[in-house]
Amino acid sequence: MSDKGNAGCMCGAIRLRIEGKPVTVMQCHCSDCQKSSGGGAALIALMRRDDVTLLTGSPEGYSVTGASGGDVRRCFCVSCGAPVYSELGKYPSILAVKLGAWDVDPGLAPDCAIWTASAPPWHHIPADIPSFPKARPAA
């Protein structure tokens, strides 16, 4: 039980060990992410579920139909309210982990911006990465 992991919520009730490299890192400007983040885009690393271990805590989930039509279960800490990760109904082997969950900057940066059509004019959308008005088209 000495493994404190390398990620978690704000209060420490939820602790995670995250290993491996993300499938992709994105910033999402959809209206649900704005609500969840308090106004900004969500910064998300799509991790293989097998690379994420829940060490302590039991995240609460709030399920929505995502902007792309799939089920999204947004998981957060009931003590501090921090969003930690989302489970994607369409991609059960993936967890969409918030970049802020890592204790130390994991050195990841978004490689695309999605749902920019929903962004207010003051959201920063980097010019040096691809951006898509809605979901990223399937490769």
Residue keyed to tokens 């097998």: 50
Backbone φ, ψ for residue 50 (5° rounding): -65, -20
**Beta carbon nearer to Zn ion, 77 or 99:** 77
Q: Which is nearer to Zn ion, 13 or 54 (CB)?
A: 13
Q: How far is the CB of 1 from Zn ion (least distance, A)?
A: 18
Q: In what order do the strands lie in the sheet with 60-65?
A: 60-65, 71-76, 83-88, 94-98, 42-48, 24-28, 112-114
Residue nearer to Zn ion on the CB measure, 64 or 108: 64
Rounded-to-integer distance, Cα 128 and Cα 5, Å: 33
- For residue 74, the minimal CB distance to Zn ion (Å) is 9
DSSP 84-107: EEEEETT-TTEEEEEGGGBSS--S
Contact by Cβ (8 Å): 101, 112: no
Measured from the CB atom, the residue of 9 and 94 that comes closer to Zn ion is 9
**Binding string to Zn ion for residues 2 to 41, with x set by CB under 5 A, is what?**
-------x-x-x--------------x-x--x--------
Kindly state the smallest distance separating residue 139's Cβ from Zn ion, in Å.
Answer: 19
Q: Which residues bind Zn ion (CB under 5 A)?
A: 9, 11, 13, 28, 30, 33, 77, 79-80
